[in-house]
């Protein structure tokens, strides 16, 4: 069986290298190559009946990136498989792609054999993620789960919010009708509980949790 493939990447050298690898395999037919996801979106809309088995895409591209493209492809036709080949190993990007049903993800520095294995696995109906990508994804999930397990009391939220608003220890004590010593204890306990290093870490956490309402 011959599979129809599309490759999207704005790095010519990588695109040429990938073409050279795939053209040596008679089971792969390269339907189209493009430098931007926008061209693929347009192509799929113009050719709704064209059989596309796999789209290989980078993440960073000028007009329509690989994350948005993956989402569009899956909304257009869930039978089209997607493989991301990218230098990016950002946990949130990986999370987003997996959430939107990407079929595989390998780093650009992967060996030729792994790339071919990923393509074959995906076309065989399974998912393929390189070890590096799986590790980042699982570590991020574990970290998020740990964050969800952290529960702050209302008083702790009050203290961390005022710290983030740059109130001094004395000002926080006055505002909450507590002693300065108590506020210092809260601050130390919060640093330990949230596993941050200093007041900047507490401020970052307060911003992330949207405790600040101006």
Cβ-based neighbour number of residue 189 at 10 Å: 12
- Which run of H or E residues covers position 7? strand 3-8
Distance, CA of 33 to CA of 185 (rounded, Å): 61
DSSP-derived letter for residue 214 is -
Distance, CA of 61 to CA of 35 (rounded, Å): 7
pLDDT band at 74 (very low <50, low <70, confident <90, very high): very high
pLDDT tens track for 161-189: 999 999 999 999 999 999 999 999 999 99
Domains and CATH numbers, the chain: 3-143 (3.40.50.2300), 150-208 (1.10.10.10)
Share of the chain above pLDDT 90, in %: 74
With 60 as the cut, is the pLDDT of residue 214 above it?
no
| pTM, to two decimals | 0.69
Distance, CA of 58 to CA of 61 (rounded, Å): 7
Cβ-contact 19, 11 below 8 angstroms: no
pLDDT tens track for 90-145: 888 999 999 999 999 999 999 999 999 999 999 999 999 999 999 988 888 777 76
Q: What is the pLDDT of residue 131?
A: 94
């Amino acid at each position: 069986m011959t599979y129809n493939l599309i490759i999207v990447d704005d790095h010519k050298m990588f695109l040429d290298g990938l073409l050279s690898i795939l053209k040596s395999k008679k089971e792969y037919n390269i339907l189209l190559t493009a430098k931007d996801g926008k061209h693929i979106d347009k192509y799929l809309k113009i050719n709704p009946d064209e059989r596309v088995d796999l789209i290989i895409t980078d993440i960073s591209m000028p007009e329509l990136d690989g994350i948005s493209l993956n989402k569009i492809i899956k909304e257009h036709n869930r039978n089209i498989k997607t493989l991301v080949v990218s230098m990016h190993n950002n946990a949130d990007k990986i999370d987003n792609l997996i959430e939107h049903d990407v079929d595989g993800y390998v780093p650009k520095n992967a060996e030729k054999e792994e790339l071919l294995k990923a393509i074959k696995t995906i076309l065989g109906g399974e998912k393929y993620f390189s070890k590096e990508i799986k590790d980042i994804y699982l570590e991020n999930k574990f970290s998020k789960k740990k964050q969800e397990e952290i529960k702050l009391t209302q008083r702790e939220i009050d203290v961390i919010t005022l710290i983030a608003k740059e109130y001094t220890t004395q000002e926080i004590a006055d505002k909450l009708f507590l002693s300065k010593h108590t506020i210092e204890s809260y601050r130390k306990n919060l640093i330990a509980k949230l596993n941050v290093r200093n007041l900047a870490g507490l401020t970052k956490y307060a911003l992330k949790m949207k405790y600040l309402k101006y």
